[in-house]
Structure 1
Amino acid sequence: MSNFGFGFGLGGPGGDGGDGDPNPMGGMPFFAELQKMLSWSGGPVNWDLAKQLAATTLTQGGSGTSGNAIVSPAERLGVAEAIRLADLWLDDVTDLPSGVQSIESWSRTEWLDKTLPVWSALCEPVAARVVAAMSAAIPEEQVQMLGEGNPLAGIMQQVGGLMFGAQVGQGLGGLAREVVSATDIGIPLGPAGVAALVPANIAAFSEGLERPAEEIRLYLALREAAHQRLFAHVPWLRQHLLDTIDTYSRGITLDMSALEDAMRTIDPMNPQGIQDALGGGLFAPQETAEQQNALRRLETLLALIEGWVDTVVAAAATERMPGAVALREATRRRRASGGPAEQTFATLVGLELRPRRLRDAATLWWSVTEKRGVSGRDAIWTHPDLLPTADDLDDPLDFGDKVMSEQDFIVPDDLSDLLGEGKPDDPTDPPTS
């Protein structure tokens, strides 16, 4: 069976494709399905195939946390209570008001369905560049041999969409078995204002932590609710993050000489051969100085988002939750290391979903809180130009002083004037930890 995971048979003696059949290929489901998939015309990624493979991944492995478990009413109630309590705790440690408009509990399939529109926007810029490069790399002698109306370019576009659909589908299926919430990877993947947890994956994450299930769920609810506050009440952040990813993706370049050499030997009707080439690094992005700078900006922004969440969650949970310190370290390690599915997307899109400098960013936000208070810390999000840079993360303890001396930064009396939102009725003291 190929890595595409179709599992289609090729027929056999005595089947519908046997002697005397007017359509010898009719008994070969693989060819019928391949023809259907190659007819995709919806863009550079065959999303029909991607969804099919992701769904297949989720249904393999049986029931419970190893499969695509259905969320029970008790789990939905537990998630709703955890997120409501988390929002109350966060009121004490940040000026940003609640960003939760509704609460949902997702199965793995529901996570896939709810986040697919954002994944489409993230993956298609790179896919379009690679598919176009595949068509442009067709050897001149093949073009001349086929003459005008050369169908090979169209075939390569279809096969490219098939190839990316397979890769994205496998990656999404893997991620759907790992993520614990709508914002778990630091990017707002779900609908705006919807705070969501994935109970099946929370159960898998909980294994070996030796903490009560309710405590682990509440800690992860704090992280989800904190992400929702940040993306809901920093108006420019969501689009700025997606634009930063898009800028990085669109700047990716390929080794055209290697691609042209490979196109002389790749059979465009053999998708498996093309996928093997992808796995072998044929379509790996080439690093340029511009791309390295773009990646640095992206990694810094992801780290600042995750560091802020880490800081406010620690402030809210440390004095209230016995296992807060252990859970903080467990989530830090998980986010910093990434899983196999995240590595799939790093290979495919050149996009690192994990914040490499999470600890530095958390130290910076803690230091700013100590020196400038909660309002001083949260007001830094009022404009992207106020955010720390990668160089600031090199000396995170000094950033609070730098903000005041170099930018003459003044905290407004009402932070909501700049954020365009209502401020909580009872402002609270800054955290002491």
Structure 2
Amino acid sequence: MSGDNPVDRPNGDDDNERPEQSKGGDENNPFAAMFGGASTEQFAQMLQGFAQAMSSPSSGPVNWDLAKQTARQTVSAAGDSSVLDRDKRELADAIRLADHWLDDVSSLPAGCSKVEAWSKAEWVEATLPTWSRLCDPVVARMAEGMAAAIPEEMRQSAGPLLGMVRQMGGVMFGSQVGQAVGGLAGEVLGASDIGLPLASPGTAALLPANVRAFGGGLGLSEDDVRLYLALREAAHQRLFVHAPWLPARLLGAVEEYAKGIDVDTSRLESLVGQLDLTNPEALQNALSEGLFDGDEIANTPAQQAALRRLETLLALVEGWVDTVVTAATDGRMPSALSLAEAVRRRRATGGPAERTLATLVGLELRPRRMREAADLWKRLTDARGVEGRDALWAHPDLLPDADDLENPEPFITGASELAEFSDLSQLGWDTSDPPVEGTPDDNAPEANGPDSPGNDDAGPADGESPDGPDGPDGGEPGTDRP
């Protein structure tokens, strides 16, 4: 295991090209409002919807009905064009060609069972269940800290008022999350653009309007831009569908992080004493002070381990996608190098994935780490071949860990225990065709939508210990490898 702290980004390369993330109202950070960054005008608009939202209370920490309504309003205000039939046909053709090219450079079967061309509003609708799973644990931990900060005598005397305050908190967070997701919809390119499986398994999707905006200043043909992004989307789906443990592991790392959030109760106690529910501007000013001590947000060993797992696994996913897309376009698409550089620059300067994860869990993804992962996958291809490389995704314990990314030679040249297997099915791979829309998919993880009860009571998966997929020590990918 590496002692490297993913939160403390090292100097060098393009890791320090990214603008500093601010805790307040960073207009480039769609999730800043979740932590008090909304403007007074936005806050006033949010209060206008309280009465309606309070009439339909949510059972969870976030009012997701209001979140969806706010996200759609945010998208509409920024402008959202309908997807044309031509866009749908062009994307379907691009995904079909992308899978054909990827068949030549990957032993994982195609994973796209459904192709979607989304408007921004449709992206919001399709991904909101996953945002619920990502945000609810973080917000719930914040709410617990707020409740703990209220003096006991106030709790006893306030009675029903505290219930109303909790309900208002759900409305407030619902509005802020909705603004954040709506803002993100204006930037994302597809269903897997932030590296997490936001849509249902097997759904390959791009947002044609955002794809055109991304390619607008590159001087390249729209067909090339669409095909390159379709290749990345189709490559992600091969992993998400045929390594069924992967989506749950990625989302689970965020949930594990949330469990260890340490709320600054001393600051909250001060804020509670200042709250005046009759004065919206004063309430906004109090909230803008922030709920967390930034220096203490990720100081527990459990949180550091969760962040290391998440960063390493995301780097391995994105590095593999970079590797197979580079191989698929070699000799076929001269513009691929320029497009790969555009994607790299987007990461380095803080794209949607980087800002989302930095705000939700305090993780700043390092471009250097993703380049290390891509280099490792390329060298593994040379050393073991395509099938030997891809077989490592059969189980998380077979994957490289953070130390292997920094010093890959022992992992690459070490004796491979995979050589005795002649096909992926012997390693437990799901080599079947992806599920067809409308049919059950036993391997697909359940998506926790706004009304879902969550998976907290779910038992361990088949073959998994009660301590979870990482075992009792919560190790990152590869730590249990013999």
SS in 2 for 1:103: strand
Q: 2:273 aligns with which of 249, 264, 274?
A: 264
Q: 2:83 aligns with which of 52, 61, 71?
A: 71
Are the aligned partners of 2:195 and 2:353 in contact in 1 as well (CA < 8 Å)? no
> CA deviation digits over 1:249-285, x for unaligned, max 9?
2221211122122211123455665554454332356
Task: Give the equivalent residue in structure 2 for 1:431.
Answer: none
Are the aligned partners of 2:75 and 2:182 in contact in 1 as well (CA < 8 Å)? yes
Task: Give the equivalent residue in structure 2 for 1:42.
Answer: 59
Are the aligned partners of 2:149 and 2:272 in contact in 1 as well (CA < 8 Å)? yes
Are the aligned partners of 1:361 and 1:393 in contact in 2 as well (CA < 8 Å)? yes
Are the aligned partners of 1:83 and 1:222 in contact in 2 as well (CA < 8 Å)? yes
Task: Give the equivalent residue in structure 2 for 1:128.
Answer: 140
Are the aligned partners of 1:69 and 1:200 in contact in 2 as well (CA < 8 Å)? yes
Distance 1:156 1:249 in 2: 22
Are the aligned partners of 2:191 and 2:197 in contact in 1 as well (CA < 8 Å)? yes
Distance 1:46 1:272 in 2: 22
Task: Give the equivalent residue in structure 2 for 1:419.
Answer: 429
Alpha-carbon spacing, 1:353–1:120, altered in 2? closer, same or farther (3 Å): farther
- Does residue 56 (structure 1) correspond to residue 56 (structure 2)? The answer is no
C-alpha RMSD of matched pairs (Å): 2.4
Residue correspondence of structure 1 range 169-208 to structure 2 within 5 A? 169-208=178-217
Task: Give the equivalent residue in structure 1 for 2:131.
Answer: 119
Distance 1:264 1:284 in 2: 18
Distance 2:292 2:282 in 1: 13
TM-score (norm 1): 0.83
Q: 2:361 aligns with which of 336, 340, 350?
A: 350
SS in 2 for 1:175: helix
Distance 2:258 2:420 in 1: 36
Task: Give the equivalent residue in structure 2 for 1:15.
Answer: none
SS in 1 for 2:106: coil
Are the aligned partners of 1:171 and 1:342 in contact in 2 as well (CA < 8 Å)? no
Residue correspondence of structure 1 range 191-340 to structure 2 within 5 A? 191-268=200-277, 273=282, 276-283=285-292, 286-288=297-299, 289-339=301-351
Alpha-carbon spacing, 1:364–1:269, altered in 2? closer, same or farther (3 Å): farther
Alpha-carbon spacing, 1:6–1:157, altered in 2? closer, same or farther (3 Å): same
Shift of 1:47: 1.4
Identity of aligned residues (%): 52
Are the aligned partners of 2:298 and 2:362 in contact in 1 as well (CA < 8 Å)? no
- 5+ residue gaps, structure 1, are 9-29, 62-66, 424-433
Distance 1:363 1:48 in 2: 44
- Larger-Rg structure: 1
Are the aligned partners of 2:243 and 2:394 in contact in 1 as well (CA < 8 Å)? yes
Q: What letter corresponds to residue 55 of structure 1 in structure 2?
A: R
- Does residue 143 (structure 1) correspond to residue 180 (structure 2)? The answer is no
The structure 1 segments of at least 4 consecutive aligned residues displaced by more than 6 Å after TM superposition are none
Distance 1:277 1:296 in 2: 33
Moved more, 377-386 or 264-273: 264-273
Are the aligned partners of 1:363 and 1:396 in contact in 2 as well (CA < 8 Å)? no
SS in 1 for 2:143: helix
SS in 1 for 2:109: coil
Moved more, 359-368 or 154-163: 154-163
Are the aligned partners of 1:186 and 1:306 in contact in 2 as well (CA < 8 Å)? yes
Moved more, 37-46 or 291-300: 37-46
Q: What letter corresponds to residue 421 of structure 1 in structure 2?
A: T
SS in 1 for 2:274: coil
Which structure would you say has the larger RCO, counting Cα contacts within 8 Å and 6 or more residues apart?
Answer: 2
Shift of 1:227: 0.4
Are the aligned partners of 1:100 and 1:228 in contact in 2 as well (CA < 8 Å)? yes
Task: Give the equivalent residue in structure 2 for 1:428.
Answer: none
Q: What letter corresponds to residue 420 of structure 1 in structure 2?
A: D
Moved more, 217-226 or 184-193: 184-193
TM-score (norm 2): 0.75
Distance 2:98 2:241 in 1: 16
Are the aligned partners of 1:185 and 1:353 in contact in 2 as well (CA < 8 Å)? no
| Number of positions where the alignment pairs a residue of Structure 1 with one of Structure 2 | 389
Distance 1:214 1:363 in 2: 28
- 5+ residue gaps, structure 2, are 1-38, 434-482
Shift of 1:167: 2.1
SS in 2 for 1:419: coil
Residue correspondence of structure 1 range 422-433 to structure 2 within 5 A? 422=432
